Chains A and B, each alone.
Chain A
């Protein structure tokens, strides 16, 4: 229980920022039009991220899955910016 709760507490926010941030960058159309909607939706996404570790089979798996999703999202955010597919304007 404690290991899962710690995963939720420590990785919940980074995961939310990664997932919502990536979604905002990939969404078609200008950022100005949809960024705020997605940011307001960050709260329910955060609750989902807090719930995730408790649905997974073990605490170890929870830590691995959450770290992996977060790392992938941030890698994608920086990768897309690096190759110039997305620009913050």
Chain B
């Protein structure tokens, strides 16, 4: 490849870094935490009184009947989530009467209680992972496009690095040239975790804009017949028409029994009920079977009145190639196929990914440094400030949410989650933009470290006796937080060292 093409690829790589690197940083950091979604929810509920006995199928029936008494039109299309690993009992769907999405849980009095749209800690971090905080569907679409750009960044990074790969892969040159060390680290992390990144760029795009991407195929190639052709394989529900004749529906227990009869070994997690109480009622029972396949997702489609099987059972052993690829990508993305150890591996790889975007941006800043003059290009300084503000602001913001969850209050912390995160993030970005850069870098690292360390302090202060009794989950969260705080402090120390003793003509140097 000639030098001109190589230079083009370098601009593509750094251009994407500038445009999407910070969004990817947030997605990776929040994604690393989302791997432990249920643990985080359990952690945030640790201060609450222990829940009663786990809900039964009879409770699910009570919830279903109660919701239909309150909102009869939801009988046309609603979902009933049965309790399974960490998920509670919940009934939800679009209410045609109000045209809004409604979700109910079973109150202590046995009556359905509408769940408000609340940003619980784990839920907020999860949403942050796939929307980076942009509201509505736009956040998801943005992240879909960002996933494609991330794919292009991988291609361009590989093209740039391939010519020197054999020589440089295992080189980590410590020495006076700090930029060389960062470059080596960026390359090594990028190349050694490339398979992980390919899977995430691909599955991220499929998850965020996969459905949207079907539209041009549907209309330009498949003459409007695509969804009928592949809908069920892709996990879409088949359309159901009501007959208008009422018929007595099977109850939840009978439906679950019919589903397990059709697919032995199925653990039913969700019932999707359509036209409940109609003779044409249909129910999709979704759940998992353990068949030693990458994905365990299975679906049984039943008549809602007789329990008869309407279509062949979809289970891993009988997946078509498309379903196997799609479900496989989803499973690889969620990282829930290999137990706790695998999720920690994913956690480390995701943080390494976040480091990739952070180091990439700082390398871009560094390669724009003028060595012999005090005045540095403005765009390099702005980019350095944004990188610091957003990356450390995201870390500090999420840590602040953890701390806030432990603050006692009437309705806990749920309503303040979103404002607090954006306030901390905004403050950090503002701080990075107005303070002298080397000072801002040091102070933001210390602030993020302090907030992260406070998670353990808040736990100790609010739940002291329980901590001492030895709760593995609390200990793990607190030790992880302390380790994170220590790493941030090390970063702060290195930043200050560089500000005082590093190259004088640098955006990081004090008194430059």
Give me the interface of A with B, judged by CB distance under 8 Å.
Answer: 1, 4-5, 13-14, 17, 20-21, 24-25, 31-37, 39-44, 46-48, 50-51, 54-55, 74, 77, 88-89
Contact indicator A43/B151 (Cβ below 8 Å): yes
B210 — which chain A residues lie within 8 A by C-beta? 40, 43
Looking at the assembled complex, report how far the CB atom of A26 sits from the nearest CB atom of chain B, in whole angstroms.
12
Looking at the assembled complex, report how far the CB atom of A75 sits from the nearest CB atom of chain B, in whole angstroms.
13
A17 — which chain B residues lie within 8 A by C-beta? 216-217, 220-221
B323: CB under 8 A from chain A?
Answer: yes
Contact indicator A37/B152 (Cβ below 8 Å): no
Apart from the given pairs A17-B216, A20-B217, A33-B321, 19 other A-B contacts in the complex at a CB distance below 8 Å: A25-B221, A33-B320, A35-B226, A35-B230, A36-B234, A36-B322, A36-B326, A39-B213, A39-B322, A43-B147, A43-B205, A43-B210, A44-B202, A47-B148, A47-B151, A50-B148, A51-B152, A77-B221, A88-B225
Binds A, one of B4-12, B27-35, B96-104, B167-175: B4-12
Contact indicator B233/A36 (Cβ below 8 Å): yes
Contact indicator A43/B220 (Cβ below 8 Å): no
Q: How far is the CA of A4 from the CA of B5 in the complex (A)?
A: 12
Contact indicator A32/B229 (Cβ below 8 Å): yes
B448: CB under 8 A from chain A?
Answer: no
Looking at the assembled complex, report how far the CB atom of A64 sits from the nearest CB atom of chain B, in whole angstroms.
17
B458: CB under 8 A from chain A?
Answer: no
Contact indicator B326/A21 (Cβ below 8 Å): no
Contact indicator B226/A37 (Cβ below 8 Å): no
Contact indicator B151/A35 (Cβ below 8 Å): no
B213 — which chain A residues lie within 8 A by C-beta? 39, 42-43
Looking at the assembled complex, report how far the CB atom of B210 sits from the nearest CB atom of chain A, in whole angstroms.
8
On chain B, the number of residues with a Cβ less than 8 Å from chain A's Cβ atoms is 39
A24-B221, A37-B322, A47-B152 in contact; A31/B229 too (CB < 8 A)?
Answer: yes
Q: How far is the CA of A39 from the CA of B5 in the complex (A)?
A: 31
Q: How far is the CA of A45 from the CA of B154 in the complex (A)?
A: 14
6 contacting pairs across A/B (C-beta < 8 A): A1-B11, A35-B230, A39-B214, A46-B148, A47-B148, A88-B222
Looking at the assembled complex, report how far the CB atom of B177 sits from the nearest CB atom of chain A, in whole angstroms.
29
Looking at the assembled complex, report how far the CB atom of B165 sits from the nearest CB atom of chain A, in whole angstroms.
18
Q: How far is the CA of A14 from the CA of B221 in the complex (A)?
A: 11
Contact indicator B229/A21 (Cβ below 8 Å): no
A34-B321, A54-B8, A55-B5 in contact; A47/B225 too (CB < 8 A)?
Answer: no
A32-B230, A39-B214 in contact; A21/B220 too (CB < 8 A)?
Answer: yes
B152 — which chain A residues lie within 8 A by C-beta? 47, 50-51
User: Which one of A1, A43, A51 has the highest number of Cβ atoms from chain B below 10 Å of its Cβ?
Assistant: A43
